[in-house]
Structure 1
Amino acid sequence: MTCKTLLSRVPLLALSLLFVVSLSHTGMLADTAARQTAAAATVPVGGTTTGVLRLVTANGRPVDLNKFRGKAVFVNLWATWCAPCRVEMPGIEALAARTDTSKVAFVLISLDKNPEKALKFMQRQGFRLPVYFPAAPLPPPFNSQTIPNTVILSPDGHVAARYEGLVDYDTPEFRQALEKLAARP
């Protein structure tokens, strides 16, 4: 394994390890220092709850993030004008295709000013994950100045991890960690 390959897997391996540690300690990912990488900065979360995140579907129907309670939730904030977001998207789509979506929800939130542009991008790329749009200002921990921004929620709605910047999520280690989080009561 090359050094570059190894370094690209560090954030995902750290997340996997932290999921295991969190299950035996506090139930939340807690070791912020272990989650810091050059590819993506992980933001400390320490039991943060999400508050109310109001979204709308492509058809304009309102959706509350609480709809996904009982599942682990992979929330990704992105935009078509963000090059790292576009690079990251195929990996998210592949991860979702390999994940039990009855236990893990994927919520892609486009920050594009023109929703039609985001929908056309998804269609051109052949991506099938649903795209949502903010219906109100983003509450913490979603209101980052950096995108892509990914927030992983436990089934009870608490923040388990948060990544700012480009990450390759399509790895067996990350999928296993996500599914392990989804299995928590």
Structure 2
Amino acid sequence: MKKVILALVLIVVLAGAFYEVKHFNTSTSNNQNVSQQRTSTSNSSISSTNSNTSSPQINSNAFNSKAIDFKLKDLNGKDVSLSDLKGKRVFLNFWASWCPPCKAEMPDIERLYEETKDSDLVILAVNLGEDKDTVKSFIDKNNYKFRILLDSDQTVAEQYSITSIPTSFFIDKNGTIVAKKIGAMTYEEMKNYVNTINK
């Protein structure tokens, strides 16, 4: 009888140890995946940016939440605030010129811009961490006309919980996020997302 009890105790202890090891490995693996994903978004500070708890942040799954206001400069040095666009629909895109998926979707963003520039849709493409000359050279070379904003220190990217790019938000006239897309989009996908914003 003692042998049976001892065997049962041993099985329970081994099962518990196995669970702890598996749980630890899963947790470590998840942390490494998040770290690798953040590293892939930037050559500089996205991977090392510490969360500023005093700044509001967009929850990664928070739809129907208010978009956080920000003020950034465009390529002409003019300040652009999200709050100034209340009453307009906003397609907010986070990107960088070194990011292949970002570059792949830009011709479609330009096409959408050309088709909607006289409407109430505003396209804002927020560049993460690159200097103005690099960004301007890339935009001029490709003859893009949509509005480019510079998030040099990636403060806005942090507020919007950007962990990979491109990432896009679709914001309605009341400043509410109605959709979010991580990854490159086709023109048709962009149109579908834009159509989810109230008119």
Quickly name the TM-score band, shorter chain normalised. Answer: 0.5 to 0.7
Q: Cα deviation per residue 1:67-113 (whole Å; 9 max; x = unaligned)? A: 11111100011000111100010011111112254310000111142
Aligned to 1:148: 166
Contact 2:151-2:157 at 8 Å conserved across structures: no
* Distance in 1 of aligned mates of 2:190 and 2:125: 18
TM superposition shift of 1:139: 6.4
Superposition CA RMSD, Å: 2.2
Aligned to 2:191: 175
Contact 2:89-2:171 at 8 Å conserved across structures: yes
TM superposition shift of 1:142: 2.4
Aligned to 2:76: 59
Task: Count residues with an aligned counterpart.
Answer: 139
Alignment identity in percent?
A: 23
**Counterpart selection for 1:138 from 152, 156, 160:** 156
Residue 64 of structure 2 corresponds to residue 47 of structure 1: yes
Alignment CA distance shift 1:177-1:149 (3 Å): closer
Aligned to 1:98: 115
**Counterpart selection for 2:85 from 68, 83, 90:** 68
TM superposition shift of 1:45: 2.7
TM superposition shift of 1:52: 1.9
Residue 138 of structure 2 corresponds to residue 124 of structure 1: no
TM superposition shift of 1:135: 6.6
Aligned to 2:179: 161
Aligned to 2:51: none
Structure 1 runs not aligned, ≥5 long:
1-42
Structure 1 runs (4+) greater than 3 angstroms displaced: none
TM superposition shift of 1:61: 2.3
Aligned to 1:107: 124
* Distance in 1 of aligned mates of 2:138 and 2:76: 16
Higher helix share: 2
* Higher RCO (CA-CA < 8 Å; seq separation 6+): 1
Q: Cα deviation per residue 1:47-81 (whole Å; 9 max; x = unaligned)? A: 21122222111122222111111111000110001
Structure 2 runs not aligned, ≥5 long:
1-59
TM superposition shift of 1:179: 4.7
Alignment CA distance shift 1:95-1:160 (3 Å): same
Contact 1:55-1:135 at 8 Å conserved across structures: no
* Distance in 2 of aligned mates of 1:97 and 1:167: 17
* Distance in 1 of aligned mates of 2:150 and 2:143: 19
* Distance in 1 of aligned mates of 2:170 and 2:158: 13
Q: Output the amino acid matched with 1:71.
A: K
Contact 1:73-1:107 at 8 Å conserved across structures: yes
Alignment CA distance shift 1:134-1:101 (3 Å): farther
Normalising to structure 1: TM-score of the pair? 0.67
